[in-house]
């Protein structure tokens, strides 16, 4: 996301869509809330990791959202070895995918780095 505010809105929307936000929302105003502590990110991490598939039309969006999630919550990968292992497996499978944009490749590199430093 080019804009941090848009990135936060995207994360809040995803958190709501997959059920990490338990409250019903009657408008889109919740997406603009800068305080994202109402949701943990664990479900979103798993949801996005499982959707990082080379043949997905949504790969760039899922990669961008996962990158923003980890950047906003670095400890999310700590003390979660099974999530780390699954993400590492998925990221490794994407490194050989052709046709990724430079931005997607940079996000992939950033996620690999986040895995390397997780738990330090």
In this structure, are residues 111 and 91 in contact, taking their beta carbons and an 8 Å threshold? yes
Q: Check whether 1 has a pLDDT greater than 80.
A: no
pLDDT at residue 3 in the model: 84
In this structure, are residues 15 and 41 in contact, taking their beta carbons and an 8 Å threshold? yes
Domain locations in the chain as residue ranges: 4-117
Q: Which of 19, 69, 31 is nearest to 49 (CA)?
A: 69
In this predicted model, what pLDDT tens digit does every residue of 93-111 receive, in sequence order? 999 888 899 999 999 999 9
CA 23 to chain centre: 21
- What integer is the mean pLDDT of 19-43? 89
In this predicted model, what pLDDT tens digit does every residue of 36-94 receive, in sequence order? 888 999 999 999 999 999 999 999 999 999 999 999 998 999 988 999 999 999 999 99
């Amino acid at each position: 996301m080019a804009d941090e505010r848009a990135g936060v809105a995207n994360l809040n929307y995803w958190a709501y869509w997959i059920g990490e936000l338990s409250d019903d929302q009657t408008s889109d105003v919740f997406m603009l809330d800068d305080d994202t502590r109402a949701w943990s990110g664990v479900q979103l991490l798993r949801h996005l990791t499982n959707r990082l598939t080379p043949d997905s039309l949504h790969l760039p969006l899922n990669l961008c959202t996962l990158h923003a999630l980890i950047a906003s919550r670095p400890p999310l990968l700590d003390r979660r070895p099974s999530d780390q292992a699954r993400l590492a497996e998925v990221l490794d499978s994407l490194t050989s995918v052709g046709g990724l944009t430079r931005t997607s490749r940079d996000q992939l590199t950033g996620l690999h780095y986040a895995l390397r430093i997780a738990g330090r």
